Structure formats: C-alpha cells, structure tokens
Structure 1
Amino acid sequence: MTVPVSGTPSKIRTLLANLLKARFPYLYIQTWEEDRAMSVIRSIAQDIPLIKTPREVLVWRMTTGIVDVSGHSRDDTKQPLKALEFIEKYDSPCIVVLQDFHIYFGGQGRAADYQVIRKLRDMLIRIKQNPNPINVIFTSPFLVLPEELQKDITIVDFELPSFNEIKTVLDEMIAVNENRGRIQIEVTAEERERIAKAALGLTLSEAENAFARAMVEDGQLDIRDVEVILEEKEQIIKKTGILEFIRSELRMEDVGGLENLKRWLTRRNKSWLDSASKYGLPSPKGVLITGVPGCGKSLISKSISSMWQLPLLRLDIGKIFSGLVGSSEENMRKAIKTAEAISPCILWIDEIEKGFSATSSGGDGGTSARVFAQFLTWMQEKTSQVFVVATANNIAGLPPELMRKGRFDEIFFVDLPTKRERKEILKVHMGRRLTHPEVIGDFQLTDEVLDDLAEKCEGFVGAEIEQLVIDALFEAYAVDRSIRLEDFERAIINTVPLSITQAEQIRAIREWANVRAVTATPKEDLEDYVKEEAVLDGGNSAPGSPDQGDGDVRYKRGGRTIDF
C-alpha cells in the first residue's frame, strides 16, 4: 500500500501522525534525507495535540544497535534478530526507526534474510495487541520490499523539500551573512523566490551547499547565481542515464524571426512564480513546434532556457525503450519523476514523431503503446511545473491524441522564413562570425546588403542561411583574403534549398498546419512578404540563380495568423 504525500511539512506531519495514531505497525519511508526524516518523526512523537500519546524515539543502525532517547546504545542489539526481540519486549509507547534495514530484505544482488522476514511477521500480532502503542519505521534510500511483507508494510512517500523549506534555508543563510558583512547580498524579494525555486529538487543539504557555493565564488549573491544552482541539479540528471542536461547559451536574440512564438513565450515568463497565482493562472503545460526542417525549431527550444532561467532537460525517447520486460515503462516513470523532482524546468523532446510514430504497430508487444499512454496521461494530468517543448518535422507521423487540447497549450507552425526573417537570420550569423578586422576588410554589413542577400536567398531555411555564410567565409579563407559580397552571392547560387528538393513534403506540412496550428511568424511579416516561397522549377536550380525558371506553382503559407 502506498500513501502519497504532497511534500509540504504540515501534510507529512499530519499523515504520519494519523498512521501512528491508527497504530500501523510497519511504515516505510524511502529518502536520502535521514536527518530531515528523523527531525519530522521526533517532532511528531512529542506533539501531544497531534499524536495524543507521546512516544519515545529509538533508532537502530547495524553499526550501533538500538540507541535510546538518552543516546545510550545497546551493543547487544546490533544483530537484526536481537534488535527485533528487543522491540517485541519493549513496554513503553515508542517509535522505532530501523535505518537501512532493507539490506535484509534482498534485492540489489543480495539474498534475503528469511529469518528476519519471518520474525517481522511473527511480531505483527504482538505489536498490535500491545497495550502501549509501538510503531516500526523503516528508512532507506532504496525501496526494497520482500513479497512476504508487502501486505503488512505501508509506504509513505517522503517528498523532497518544499519551496517554503528551501526558502527558509536561503533566508537564514542570507540573514547570517548580512550580519557578518562578508557577503554582498544583491537580490530583490522576487529574485530570492527565483533562486529558491531553482533549488527545488535538491535535498536541504544539497540546496544549502549550492547557496553557500554561490555566495563564496564571487563574494556576493545575486540573480546570476541561479546558474550555480542549475549546475548542482545537473548532477541529478547525469545519474539517471535517460535525461540529458543541456547547457545552452543561446539567447532569444540569437534566433532570427519567429516573433509570434517569441511573444507567446515572453508572456509566459515567470508564470511559475507565486505572483502568477494572484491572477489564478496555472503553470503552462507545453508547446508543440512543427514545421519545415531547418527553420529553427530546435534553436528556439534551447533559447527558452536562457529566457526563463530554467534548467533544460532533453528526453531521448530511444533511451526509454529497453529490451527487458517492463523496463521501458519504468524508464519513462523514472524520467518523469526526475523532471518533476527538479521542477520548475523545461523538458525538451526533439523530433517526437520518431519516438511515438509507431505506437499502434504492435510489433513490440504493446510496449510503445503503453509508454505512449503513460506519457499522454502525465501530460494531461500533470500539476508539476514542467514545461514540455516538443518538436516535430513529420507531423503526419504523430498520433492524433497527442495533439488534442489539454496536452499542449499551443501548436506552432514554423514555415520557410519570410524576407524580413531571412534578413534577421543573416544579420545574426554574419554579425556573430564577422568579428576580425582582417576578415571584414572593406566589406560593410549595411541594411542594403542584408536586404539584397535576403531577396536572393528566397526559399532558404534558417540552417541553409547559416551554411551559406560559412561557405562564403571558407571561400575567402581558402585564398587568404577578406570577405566580399560576391562570396555570399556565389554561396547562394551553389545551394539547392529544401524548398526545391522537398517541395511536396513542405506543401503537405503547410496544408496540415493551415487548420491545426498557429504560425510562428507574425501577421505583419507575412503581409510584408509579397512573393510566395519556393517556386517549383523541377529542383534543378536554386532561388536567385540566373537560370531559375519563373514557374507557376506556388505555395500557400501554412498556419493560422493569430497575433499574440
């Protein structure tokens, strides 16, 4: 039997007190935080209004045996059977905490000690019939239960520290250091909240270490120290082997165009803070970004992390599926639990259609369908502050139930960049690479040059625009001279864009997006874009080349034009 706990101290105390008053004989708390668990147990044991009958707290470890309330240890109880015999004969109200007792239950390559298991079963009736209330609590970092005891032990989910607990630790550390005057504190009330929120998912000890490190590294505490907290969280992610912690320095300014999507994301910044609750706003669930390959879907997914100052986790669906029966479902549960533990965070699933496109094939015994159903249920019902960003190229490969309202807040379509967007993309990439005076030479990056190049690379996706800038620089580097305008023009002519090589696929994506998605490009950019992209000429010549045919088949741009 599993009893869920929300994670707030009051609810944990109330739940444990009720279980103890009801004389549940065996409780199991899985936690890495022994000290915090013991603190809660001891506070309950002496809280007469809460528990009615006060109780002594005895602690057993294999290294000390049973330690009583006075700190006296009984060496004769180091052996588990001797300890259980002592508990069985104890004649005062007590709570006995058995730490790391799971080693006698088997699992993790160990053999179970069946004498210990049998003794625990024998003790049940005596504990229940004892006129003095006695409760046994097992604490361990691992949940290991022998089948023989599964009906007798109640599992209590002892969640990681709540926001209020972490905020209290941060406030106490700030107060101490302000009094000493050694650390310069430069944080507002809102920034304190953001730093504390960033530490959610850490134990109290880990959070305290992270705050201490943030203070001593530069002798001050400010909002920039959120990065130090995220580095501590990175350790948690590395240990899962399923999720990947992405450290991205991309900013929204590094993404050219897509202003509609940017505005939507900007308006939801800080929505995980308590200030959003005044408006009755829930945390946003996520966004699905689909569209033409190479148009910036992955780029903008990475840049959300820097805008919102939240950790970015990448879920590789391929790592979820394992050859062992039941392990794929367990991997998905583990990934979800880890993401929720360090929330608020961003969970990025790149090319989601490749992981969930074959869920109805049945060729894997239904494993894919079960994992997909597990993910859908979580997306629909999740209350944790995990913002899911999913990207897809082949939208037709996605199951329709994934795109139902309630899974994602919005579906955005990223089309071929308009002229204004191409100009922005060129400016970003040329400005980032053209930094050395010898390379720049007499070349001047004027608005007229950008306008001319943006016109000539009509039909190019963002990735192709970046590559043409690189190709032009290689052209100059090969002969050891400064860059020239002709280098960029030659690179454009020599490129055959996706708008020609994958014309039919792009048309199909646009037809789908016209009724199901919102365009990531704002209405004003679409109106500014007079020509329709990607004139079909058989795919033999690139846009902007002298021999390009006029063609008479033109695309209708995809996505509903809603302004955010």
Structure 2
Amino acid sequence: MNFKKDLGNMLRARFPYIYISSWEEDRVLDTISLVAQDENLIKTKRNVLSWTLTNGIIKDGSQVLKDTKNPMKALEFIEKYEEASIFVLKDFHVFLGDGNRPCDLEIVRKLRDLVYSLKQSIKPKNIIFISPRLVLPNDLQKDVTVMEFELPSAKELEKLLIDMIEVNKTSGRLTVDLLPEEREMLARASLGLTYQEAENAFARAMVTNSSIDKRDIELVLEEKRQIIRKSEILEFIKHDLDMDDVGGLENLKRWIIKRNNSWMQSASTYCLPNPKGVLITGVPGCGKSLIAKAISAIWKLPLLRLDMGKIYSGLVGSSEENMRKAIKTAEAVSPSILWIDEIEKGFGDNNNGDSGTSTRILGTFLTWMQEKNKPVFVVATANNIHKLPSELLRKGRFDEIFFVDLPTKRERIEIFKLHLNKRLKDEKVKSSIHVDDELLNNLAQLTEGFVGAEIEHIVVSGLFEAFYESRGLTCDDLEKAIHSTVPLSVTQAEQIIGIRTWASTRAVAATPRSDRKEYNNFTEESSDIIASRGGRAIDF
C-alpha cells in the first residue's frame, strides 16, 4: 500500500475523519505534513494543526491556541476555523470508549454533527485521529475511515543505521566491521520495531563495545524480546542450540539450510516468496522440538512459542481474539519463527463440543497461513497426525510435511556421540571410558528401536551410576541403562506402525534415503513400509 498516495486521495475526497492506529506519533505526523504540502498528492496545500489533552491545539509547531484543551472546545474551534487545514487529534480514543470506560456521548454526538460541516466547508478541512490502538463506538463506524500505517521498512531502517554509523564514525567513537549484506541483515533483523525502538537497539549495539558488527544482531533481537514479554500468549524461547546439537535428520537439515536468508533482498532476484513453514510429525522423542530451536539458531531469528492453552480462555469470543493477537504480535516482530508444539492438541478433533470455538480459531489460522505476506515461518510439530483436520495438511498451508522416524544406526551413533561429548567434560568422569568408533558402534547396535530422548536418558542414567560411586563413567554403566530401558518402539509399536503407514505416502522422510537402508528388524511390517512404501523418498 502507498500510504502517502492513499492519504492524499482521501484528503482530496473530503473524507471527514481518518483514523490511524500507531505508536509512532511523530513519524505519522511527519508523513501527514509532507502530504499536506505536496500539490501532486492534494490539490490545495493545507495547514497541519495538532491537538493533545495537555496542550490543546498547536499551530505551526509552537503556537498554542488558548482554551482548546477541552475536547469539546477543540471541536468547536475546528468547526469555526476557515483555512484549508488538517487537524490531527492525538489519543482522542479515550473519549470514544476504550473498554474500561464508556464513550463520551456528548463528544460522539458533536463529531457526528461536524461531518456535514467538514464536507461542505468552503476551504477543505479534515480530522485525523492518531492513537496507539483502534477504538471506535458503533455510532461513528460509518463516518470514520481506518488506515494502516506500516512500521519502518528494511530500507528505512538501513538508512537509519547508515546515518547513525556516519555520525559516530566522524566523531571517532565507533569501529565498524559490517559488509553491505551484513548491514542489510542487521536492518532486517530490526523489522517489526518502531523507528525509536530500532534507534535504541542500534545505539545500544554501538555503545556496548564501541563497535558494530554482525554479532550485534543478538542485541537487536533483545529489543524484539521486549515486545514478546509484553504479550500474554506468545513466549520467547531463548536457547543456545544449533544444528550440530541435532543428531541425524540430514534431509530435513539440508532443506532448512537451503532456505536460510530467503527473506533477504537477494532472494527477490529469484522472485522467491517467503517460506511459509513446515509440519514435522513422527515418533515422540525423536527431536522434533529440537529442530524448531535449531532453525531459530541457524537463521538467527527470534523463536516464539504459541501456547494453545492460553488461546482457549474462558470468555466467549476471547479465544478468537487471542489468536488474532498472537498472529499480529508474530508479524510485528517478523522476520520470526512461530513454533506450535503438539499442534494436534489445539487444532485436532479432541476439541469437539466447544460450541465451534476451535473451528473458528482453525479458520483464522488457516486463512492467515494461506495469505500471509510477512516473513513469519511456522514450525508445527505433531505426535498424532491422525487427529489433524485434512484442510491443515493440504498444499499451500505448509511448504513441506516431514516425517521423523526412529533413528537409524548411523543416527544413533551421532546422538550417542553428541550427548557423551557434551557431558564428559571433567577428566575424572571420562577417565574410564574412551569415546571411539568401536564404543559408539556397539551402543548403537544395542539400541535398535530407541528414540533420541531415550538415548539421552541412557547417558544420564549411566552418569548417575558413576556419580553415586564417585568414579568415572564406564561402558558397563551405559549397557546396564540400555538393558533396563523398555523403548517406546515396544510400548507403542502399533501407534508407530500407524504413523509410518500414514507418512509413507504423505510426508517426506527427515532421514536421507542412504541412511534409511540401515533400518533393521523393528517389525516385518514396519521395515517393509520404510523400505518399499516410501512414496515420498525425496532427498534435498
């Protein structure tokens, strides 16, 4: 949307009331002033006068007109004013009813009376409301036009960053180590912030160590965390994981890596859309949640967890509003990653009997997934894919559906190696064991059918044995833990076979085809499915 052009058209068409919901009063006012003096946008140049409850009506930036602090007096002044003008009323929503108080009926009536006067005045006059949130009583909804004022674009934020760098470089107080593409990455990381918030983030990065480089992206993300912390629905997930902390799943990893930086300007050369998201299903405990955190780490984007339990609140109609609020917040801090863990619990068929609330929430979510143009990448995980409605699974919602199966032998070797190296830090603890190919191969052989979470538990259980006896970890400790563990593949064999059957023709395997040859005799039926029914045996 071209905001200046649209605003100019509305002013020329004598729209009496325009409502702009934004926290950036100064930026909106500057834009209105530019439009008011541009004869290409409006035929007649106009004065811009602003009103606040504390100062009344201000003309020419400083002249305060007396006796106009009272909102009724201000409206009477506007009615009698005879010059071509635009009146900007700040925070006028407090008189229109803001949820905590009823609207001022006298002021609402006066605004309705003013409509004819504004439209028929000899010199054009318009009123623009600027408020941080949209509040409109029913009586005014037909007379007021609502406009969307976008947050600063990547180009605006990059220009702000360049200007701040030049000012501080000239004074000799700043060391700059930014390539052009890294500068763009820093600017795009600040998308979703207001102009002032971005300025604060850049200033904080510059004063932290008197330098600015690509590592300062983390400080920019900290400003975004402030927005998330104020949300009661989304949770900002902070972590120190990366792709190396996920054992195996190379097919899924390659797919993710190939889409890194796809929201950057360079991707527009290829006319690429922003990736929508992935749905990851499979056996519980195989690393689906780890993948969501790893994507956030490798893409250097904030990870927001949507708690579906907070969406379904008790008040009628509030659940739908909560979903819209969550979506709006995720878009406000975009580019970002929205993680919905165990999505079937929020959108599955277990929500029947709720008077259609879950159906309406699902509809809101599906419409947004289909039409969103902001770079919000959705990572949804599901243990029981059968509970999800078919409309959520069709093409266009998610870019791809991945199936995470039981780890192959090669993947189990990687998982054991990862957890042992991560925990064997002290020389005393690792003095009795040597993590080599022979040990890892033996452990992987003994854990056929074990999931990643169970392998981690085995390492932890072995370390507890060693800790109890104040000695180093041994291979016997790990083997003892293995033999005392009944894996999920035994306790939930039927469910796993059912998931594998579904995924064989409907999802892409997260494990590469070459590794899937290592599947052994979990059961005859399941091994046949993996080996011969892999209808979507795609490698990325």
Q: Supply the AA of the counterpart residue of 1:562.
A: I
How far apart in 2 are the matches of 1:429 and 1:370?
43
The yes-or-no answer on 1:239 pairing with 2:226 is no
Structure-to-structure mapping, 1:261-272, within 5 angstroms: 261-272=252-263
The match for 2:440 is 450
Q: How far did 1:442 drift? A: 3.3
Tell me which of 471, 479, 485 is aligned to 1:495: 485
CA contact under 8 A between 1:287 and 1:390: conserved in structure 2?
yes
Q: Supply the AA of the counterpart residue of 1:563.
A: D
The match for 1:393 is 383
Structure 2: segments with no counterpart, 5+ residues: none
How far apart in 1 are the matches of 2:83 and 2:354?
57
Tell me which of 299, 305, 310 is aligned to 1:314: 305
How far apart in 2 are the matches of 1:108 and 1:148?
15
The match for 2:537 is 561
> What is the SS of the residue equivalent to 1:50?
coil
How far apart in 2 are the matches of 1:392 and 1:298?
10
Structure-to-structure mapping, 1:285-434, within 5 angstroms: 285-358=276-349, 361=352, 363-434=353-424
The match for 1:147 is 138
Structure-to-structure mapping, 1:395-544, within 5 angstroms: 395-527=385-517, 529=518, 531-533=520-522
How far apart in 1 are the matches of 2:386 and 2:207?
52
**CA separation of 1:72/1:220 partners in 2, compared to 1, >3 Å: closer, same or farther?**
same
> What is the SS of the residue equivalent to 1:92?
coil
> What is the SS of the residue equivalent to 1:389?
strand
Q: Supply the AA of the counterpart residue of 2:246.
A: V
Q: TM-score, normalised by structure 1?
A: 0.93
Q: Supply the AA of the counterpart residue of 1:381.
A: E
How far apart in 1 are the matches of 2:169 and 2:188?
21
The match for 1:179 is 170
CA contact under 8 A between 1:320 and 1:332: conserved in structure 2?
yes
**CA separation of 1:19/1:109 partners in 2, compared to 1, >3 Å: closer, same or farther?**
same
Q: Supply the AA of the counterpart residue of 2:232.
A: G
How far apart in 1 are the matches of 2:392 and 2:251?
23
Q: Supply the AA of the counterpart residue of 2:312.
A: F
Q: How far did 1:107 drift? A: 2.3
How far apart in 1 are the matches of 2:63 and 2:399?
59
CA contact under 8 A between 1:56 and 1:94: conserved in structure 2?
yes
Report the more deviating stretch, 434-443 or 504-513: 434-443
How far apart in 2 are the matches of 1:553 and 1:286?
32
CA deviations on 1:186-205 (whole Å, 9 max, x unpaired) are 11111111111111110000
The match for 2:5 is 14
Structure-to-structure mapping, 1:72-87, within 5 angstroms: 72-87=63-78
How far apart in 1 are the matches of 2:501 and 2:432?
45
How far apart in 1 are the matches of 2:52 and 2:374?
36
How far apart in 2 are the matches of 1:553 and 1:156?
59
CA deviations on 1:379-406 (whole Å, 9 max, x unpaired) are 1111111111100000111111111011
CA contact under 8 A between 1:468 and 1:491: conserved in structure 2?
yes
CA RMSD of aligned residues (A): 1.3
CA deviations on 1:468-517 (whole Å, 9 max, x unpaired) are 00000000000111111111111111111001010000000000011101
The yes-or-no answer on 1:201 pairing with 2:177 is no
The match for 2:271 is 280
Q: How far did 1:557 drift? A: 4.9
> What is the SS of the residue equivalent to 2:150?
coil
The match for 1:112 is 103
> What is the SS of the residue equivalent to 1:166?
helix
Q: How far did 1:75 drift? A: 2.4
CA contact under 8 A between 2:288 and 2:381: conserved in structure 1?
yes
CA deviations on 1:140-186 (whole Å, 9 max, x unpaired) are 11211121111111111112111121111111112222222211111
CA deviations on 1:87-134 (whole Å, 9 max, x unpaired) are 111110000111111111122312322111111111111111111000
> What is the SS of the residue equivalent to 1:76?
coil
Structure 1: segments with no counterpart, 5+ residues: 1-5, 536-551
How far apart in 1 are the matches of 2:412 and 2:503?
21
CA contact under 8 A between 1:349 and 1:390: conserved in structure 2?
yes
Q: How far did 1:553 drift? A: 6.4
How far apart in 1 are the matches of 2:260 and 2:424?
32
CA contact under 8 A between 2:350 and 2:387: conserved in structure 1?
no
Q: TM-score, normalised by structure 2?
A: 0.97
How far apart in 1 are the matches of 2:36 and 2:54?
24
> What is the SS of the residue equivalent to 2:220?
helix
Q: How far did 1:226 drift? A: 0.8
How far apart in 2 are the matches of 1:554 and 1:509?
10
Q: How far did 1:360 drift? A: 7.2
How far apart in 2 are the matches of 1:50 and 1:157?
18
The yes-or-no answer on 1:135 pairing with 2:107 is no
CA contact under 8 A between 1:248 and 1:305: conserved in structure 2?
no
Q: Supply the AA of the counterpart residue of 1:202.
A: L
> What is the SS of the residue equivalent to 1:49?
coil
How far apart in 1 are the matches of 2:102 and 2:360?
32
Q: Supply the AA of the counterpart residue of 2:510.
A: A
CA contact under 8 A between 1:426 and 1:450: conserved in structure 2?
yes
Between the aligned residues of both structures, percent identity stands at 59
Q: Supply the AA of the counterpart residue of 1:356.
A: F
The match for 1:252 is 243
Q: Supply the AA of the counterpart residue of 2:528.
A: K
CA deviations on 1:425-484 (whole Å, 9 max, x unpaired) are 000000000010011113211111111111111111000000000000000000111111
> What is the SS of the residue equivalent to 2:279?
strand
Tell me which of 31, 34, 58 is aligned to 1:43: 34
Q: How far did 1:70 drift? A: 5.6
Tell me which of 213, 226, 233 is aligned to 1:222: 213
Q: Supply the AA of the counterpart residue of 1:25.
A: P
Counting matched residue pairs gives 536
Structure-to-structure mapping, 1:90-109, within 5 angstroms: 90-109=81-100
